[in-house]
Amino acid sequence: MSAPMMLELRFNSDPKKLRMVRERVQEMAEEAGCSKKLISDLVIAINEACMNIMQHAYKGQKSGEIHLEMQKEESDIHVLLTDFAEPVDLDKIRPRDIEDIKPSGLGTYFIHEIMDDCTYGHLDNLSGNYLKMRVKIS
């Protein structure tokens, strides 16, 4: 990411941290001039992505570290989420069919519906995972 950082957070993989994350994402999106709908959508997408990291990468361990970086670049918001858990199987990260009704598991679906681009990968030396997301400001 090359534009100035608008938000940079480092927090433990504890679900209790998500309220603070949602509040900071909302503030940043408001400052960036996003519409009320996009602000709400960004909060949902980032919250879901963080929950997925907590549940699937860190397997519920609350001591793992998550980095969130957000920036505005021209008419886009760029988001980078990084964890330092064991590498996840990238082939297993995909949205399930919305018609497949279950009580959970729609996070990836919502992320892909909200964001214009999503890229998953492993950090160098397989020391963690990342999720890059981009959405046009509306």
Residue 104 CB-half CA count within 13 A: 4
Residue 26 CB-half CA count within 13 A: 12
Does 93 or 55 have the greater pLDDT score? Answer: 55
- pTM equals 0.89
pLDDT at residue 90, rounded to an integer: 81
pLDDT at residue 108, rounded to an integer: 81
Eight-state DSSP code of residue 119: E
Q: Which domains does the chain have, with CATH numbers?
A: 5-136 (3.30.565.10)
pLDDT at residue 96, rounded to an integer: 53
